Every structure is written in C-alpha cells, then in structure tokens.
C-alpha cells in the first residue's frame, strides 16, 4: 500500500479539481493544470493498484445500492409478490421462507430450473413455493400462460397444476395453446372449462399483475426469483438457490 506521503500529491490534486468544482478549476493557469494532470498521471502509473482498489470499492458500493433497491421494491410490492390470490402456491403453504419464481414456458433455462424447484420442494419441507407466469419470449408463451392461469383457476390446490406444469415445461417442442391444452388434458383437467376461462378477466389481470411486479423489480428475463429480501435473475443453480434460502431463513447460507 503506498504511504500517505506518496499519496499526498495526487490526493491534493484530485481534491483541488473535485472539491473546487469546474468553475474554480478554470482559475488555474494552463501551466498549473498541466502540472496537476502530470502529478495525477505519474502517481497512477507508479501505483496502478490504486485503480484496482477504486474499482473494487465501486463494485462494492454498486452491489450495496442494488441490494437496497431490491429490498425496497420487494417491501413496496410485498403483498402482491407473496400473497396474491392470483398465484400458484406449492410446497408448505405455511412455510417459513417463500420462494417465488417468474417463468416462461418457452424458456430453456426454466426447464432446468424446474428440476431445481422440485428438488428444493423435496428436500425442504418448510419451503413455500410460488409460481408466477411471465410470458416474455413469444406469442406462444402468452398462449401457454393463459392456459396455465385457467388451470390454476380450476385447481386451487395446485396438485393438478404442478402435473400440468411439469408436462408442459418438460415437454418437447415450443409451448403454445395447443401444447398447453394437451398437457392440461393429460393432467386430468376439464379442457372445455379452460377454453371458457381463457377469455376471462382473471386470466388477463393475472398476467398483467405479474408483468407489473417484474417491471417494478427490474426483472427482464426468466427464470427470475424473489427469495426473502433478495431478487435473483437467471438459472443460478440448485446450490446457489439453497444459499439464498438459507440467508432468508437465518441470515447465512447454511442454517
């Protein structure tokens, strides 16, 4: 680490420019400005580790600001995120941690993330799982999400929804209305009722609510998660999700 004596010339020069502001800096003569710039340049060339330290601190501050922003957006939308009547609830409905996933039926990463979710449900009996349709990839995604909401309306318990969810998300080919209806039929649901419910305001309102929540939290892709006070974007893998759940549950990765 450079000594304070070595830092002093550059710190003084930076302070002169930064603290005095543009108007005051203009009072320096060309020669003075040239000398100050030379001091700064020579110092940074001699001690490039300072730039690395500055970037590390900047990254740390940006991460802290992002975390604070996430926590604020979650607090402002808490009821809609965790307790909306328009969401699918699986796992332990009285669990101590709520794991919320925003997904798209045409998202390849969501297919892998589904396995993570199922593993978490099996291994963590205290976990409450919430699924929110977030069809961002295609018109087929929208159609599949509409069918999914109609399935939820028909199956409040979530048992048949989960079967439908696995069949559609784990199936071959692009998800669309036809594939979704077939998955619903295979899961033992009333497809005639689904056809009727697709046109309901409940379906439209549910998807609109999910889009508004995602926008409020800065989510622009799938899968995205809310776990406690944390927002996680992307298929981060089972181990990382377990760590996030641990932080939400007891303040550390492993409880």
Which pLDDT score is estimated for 22? 52
CATH label of the domain that carries residue 173? 3.40.30.10
53: in domain: yes
255: in domain: no
Domain boundary among 76, 107, 129: 76
Going from the C-alpha of 130 to that of each of 14, 155, 156, 186, 200, the distances in angstroms are: 51, 15, 13, 23, 22
Q: Is 233 helix (H, G, I), strand (E, B) or coil?
A: strand
Cβ contacts of 110 within 8 Å, gap of 6 or more: 103, 104, 169, 222, 223, 235
Residues 133 and 224 in one domain: yes
Residues 67 and 85 in one domain: no
Residues 194 and 140 in one domain: yes
- What mean pLDDT value characterizes the chain? 87
Distance CA 104, CA 12 (A): 54
Higher pLDDT, 12 or 238: 238
Higher pLDDT, 17 or 77: 77
Least confidently predicted of 31-40, 117-126, 238-247: 31-40
Residues 183 and 151 in one domain: yes
Distance CA 99, CA 179 (A): 27
Residues 117 and 227 in one domain: yes
Residues 126 and 8 in one domain: no
Which pLDDT score is estimated for 35? 80
Distance CA 74, CA 240 (A): 20
The model's pTM: 0.76
For residue 151, which of 211, 103, 193 has the smallest C-alpha distance?
Answer: 193
Domain boundary among 43, 76, 109: 76
pLDDT category of residue 47 using cuts at 50, 70 and 90: confident
* Angle between the N-to-C axes of helices 139-154 and 191-198, in degrees from 0 to 180, rounded to the nearest 10: 120
Q: Range of 193's domain?
A: 81-250
**Residue 145 burial by CB count (10 A; 0-12/13-18/19+): exposed, middle or buried?**
buried
Higher pLDDT, 240 or 72: 240
Residues 51 and 162 in one domain: no
pLDDT per position as a tens digit, 209-252: 999 999 999 898 899 999 999 999 999 999 999 999 999 999 98
Residues 86 and 30 in one domain: no
Domain boundary among 76, 110, 132: 76
Quickly tell me which residue has 């929804």 as its tokens.
161
- In sequence order, the β-bridge partners of residue 100 are 130, 226
Quickly tell me which residue has 């497809």 as its tokens.
191
Question: How many domains would you assign to the chain?
Answer: 2
pLDDT per position as a tens digit, 131-157: 999 999 999 999 999 999 999 999 988
């Amino acid at each position: 680490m450079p000594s304070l004596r070595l830092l002093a010339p550059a710190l003084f020069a930076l302070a002169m420019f930064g603290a005095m502001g543009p108007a005051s800096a203009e009072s320096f003569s060309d020669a003075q400005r040239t000398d100050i710039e030379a001091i700064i340049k020579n110092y940074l060339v001699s001690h490039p580790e300072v730039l690395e330290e500055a970037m590390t601190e900047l990254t740390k501050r940006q991460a802290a600001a992002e975390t604070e922003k996430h926590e604020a957006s979650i607090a402002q939308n808490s009821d809609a995120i965790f307790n909306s009547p328009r969401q699918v609830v699986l796992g332990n409905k009285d669990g101590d941690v709520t794991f919320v996933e925003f997904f798209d039926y045409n998202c390849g990463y969501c297919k892998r993330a589904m396995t993570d979710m199922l593993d978490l449900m099996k291994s963590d009996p205290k976990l409450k799982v919430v699924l929110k349709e977030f069809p961002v990839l295609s018109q087929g995604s929208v159609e599949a999400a509409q069918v999914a909401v109609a399935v939820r309306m028909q199956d409040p318990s979530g048992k048949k929804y989960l079967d439908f969810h696995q069949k559609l998300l784990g199936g071959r080919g692009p998800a669309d209305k036809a594939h979704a209806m077939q998955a619903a039929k295979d899961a033992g649901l009333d497809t005639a009722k689904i056809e009727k419910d697709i046109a309901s305001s409940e379906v439209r309102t549910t998807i609109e609510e999910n889009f508004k929540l995602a926008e409020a939290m800065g989510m622009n892709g799938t899968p995205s998660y809310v776990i406690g006070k944390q927002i996680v974007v992307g298929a981060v893998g089972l181990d990382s999700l377990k760590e996030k759940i641990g932080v939400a549950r007891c303040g550390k990765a492993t409880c």
